[in-house]
Amino acid sequence: MSERSDKLIRLSEFADLESGEFAKDAFADLELLYQKGRRFHRLSQRIRCCNLCDGMNIGRVTECCPGWGSLNADVMFVGQSLHEPGMYSQIPFILGSGLMIDAALRLSGIKRHGCYWSNVVKCHPERNRPSKEEEKENCLSYLFAELDIVQPKVVVALGKDAEQGVKRYMDEREYEWKYLKYVHPASLIYSAPEARPNYIVKMSLDLDKALRGSSSYSTDVQNGRRFVGDTSASNENPPPNSETLKALIGDLKKNKYKTIYVDPPWPEVGGGKIKRGADKHYNVMSISEIALYGDLINMVAQEKCHLYLWATNNYLKDAFRLLEKWGWDYITMITWMKDRKGLGQYYRGKTEHCLFARRGVLPYRKKNGKRAQGVTGFIEARGRHSAKPKTMREMIELVSYAPRLEMFAREKHKGWDVWGNEV
């Protein structure tokens, strides 16, 4: 069957092929969105013209910003008042403490633009002062109208003012959504930066639980499979927004490392009826699951840090993309030449590669008054499956600084902190 014929058959499921008329309920969801859009347009005009509070809604000083995001969102975030970047961009929670929420969303595979973002007070209080009671009271009707329009499945209140505002709505109206509340993330930026990783992970886990089965939480995310355009094989390994991730944060949150050594379980599944790939020996991960660990790597890395990332030949291109996505500068590649051939199609593999990248610039280490340097290639016999060569670790210890962390480790080594389910 041709592609054109296939599309005509699918079109006939919701349209008359002779008249071109659509079935009555074919686009009922878009009619609902149209009505929501009209209501929101009227509401946003009211907010932008509001002059109920003295000194507020002055352009580029205390200017207002209506809510932003999807009117069909399953998740709605409510903050206390508009921050300065939000005033200039007209996007609430952009940058600043909002990055902590974005990190939680990324761990849960949720897109920012698929949520709805708002504040109790729609204007930016000058110099970020606390909102006055009359300002909160005057703006409350706007928040209630937004909740009526969006009708989210989950409402996330951030801070005391947001919690009180959402509770007022809950007391006055019938509701069928789930309610999550947290301290405002801005309170952790300066007063308790060490608490930020646990805050992010807890929010991600709470969202996972609240959204299971909803449209925002896709089947792939629920099953721990592909997240963002990944075409690699799926697996049964739990995704890094699970309790495993929470444990990792708990183990590592007290330390910041100058050297991080990563050997991720690339999705080498092989082909044919007989299992011959890495999945024969351990659970592998999709590229997108591995990508989510970039947030953790950046959390536990010092501002100036070296990163070593192992990659197989099949996923070398993906490894370069991950370094760029995570924000690290690629420096060079070290190649391990093995003594025996592995699997392959046109060429059977005898090599594996470790990408060396950095964040910031650390001074060169010295040995006997000279710069300590490794080499970009070496020969060493293979050990047990996936065991990494002793030479590579020795070169890392020569070139890069302690404290050192190995992620996805399979055994402990003196002078290293290690994390992995085989340790």
In a domain, 240, yes or no: no
Q: Both 288 and 164 in a single domain?
A: no
pLDDT at residue number 150: 96
Q: What percent of the chain has pLDDT over 70?
A: 85
Instruction: Give me the pLDDT at residue 277, please.
Output: 55
Q: Considering 164, 192, 220, which residue would you say is the last residue of a domain?
A: 192
> Is pLDDT of 12 > 90?
no
Within a domain: 224? no
Q: Is residue 89 part of a domain?
A: yes
Residues 163 and 295 in one domain: no
In a domain, 241, yes or no: no
- Amino acid identity of residue 398, one-letter, is L
Q: Which domain holds residue 74?
A: 28-192
Contact present, 51 and 131 (Cβ < 8 Å): no
3 state SS for 348-396: ECCEEEEEEEEECCCCCCEECCEECCCCCEEECCCCCCCCCCHHHHHHH
304 in the same domain as 181? no
Q: Which amino acid is at 129?
A: R
**Does one domain contain both 163 and 270?**
no
**Domain CATH for 35:** 3.40.470.10
Contact between residue 257 and residue 300 where contact means Cβ atoms under 8 Å apart: yes
39 and 168 both lie in a single domain: yes
Q: Of 87, 44, 175, 45, which is closest to residue 79 (Cα–Cα)?
A: 87
Residues 414, 287 within the same domain: yes
Gap between the Cα atoms of 412 and 422, Å rounded: 10
Instruction: Quick: pLDDT tens for 161-187.
Output: 999 999 999 988 877 789 999 999 998
Evaluate whether residue 72 is within a structural domain: yes
Do residue 261 and residue 178 come from a single domain? no
CA distance 210 to 216: 11
C-alpha separations of 418 from 127, 137, 248, 400, 413 in Å: 44, 52, 10, 16, 8
pLDDT digits (tens, 9 = 90+) for 135-144: 999 999 999 9
The answer to whether residue 303 is domain-embedded is: yes
The answer to whether residues 324 and 184 belong to one domain is no
Tokens of 39: 């209501």
Residue with token string 């633009």: 113
How many CB atoms within 10 Å of residue 327? 11
CA–CA dist 36, 203 (Å, integer): 28
Indicate which CATH number applies to the domain containing 352: 3.40.50.150
Half-sphere exposure of residue 150: CA atoms within 13 angstroms, side-chain side: 28
> In this structure, what token pair is assigned to residue 238?
């739990």
What is the total count of domains within the chain? Answer: 2
Residue 222 pLDDT exceeds 50: no
**Nearby residues of 307 by Cβ (< 8 Å), 6 or more positions away:** 259, 260, 262, 297, 301, 323, 328, 356, 357, 358, 359
Domain boundary at 174, 192, 210, which?
Answer: 192
Residue 160 falls inside a structural domain: yes
Q: Which residues contact 176 (CB under 8 A, 6 or more apart)?
A: none
* Cβ contact 420:407 at 8 Å: yes
CA 303 centroid distance within chain: 20
Q: What is the pLDDT of residues 325-377, one digit of tens each?
A: 999 999 999 999 999 888 777 898 899 999 999 999 999 999 898 999 999 99
Separation CA 206–CA 75 (nearest Å): 12
Query: Nearest-CA neighbor of 96 among 73, 75, 80, 116?
Result: 80
23 falls within a domain: no
pLDDT of amino acid 41: 96
Domain end position, chosen among 192, 210, 239: 192
- Whether residues 187 and 66 fall in one domain: yes
Distance CA 271, CA 41 (A): 54
pTM: 0.57
Which tens digit of pLDDT belongs to each residue from 21-51?
888 888 888 989 999 999 999 999 999 999 9
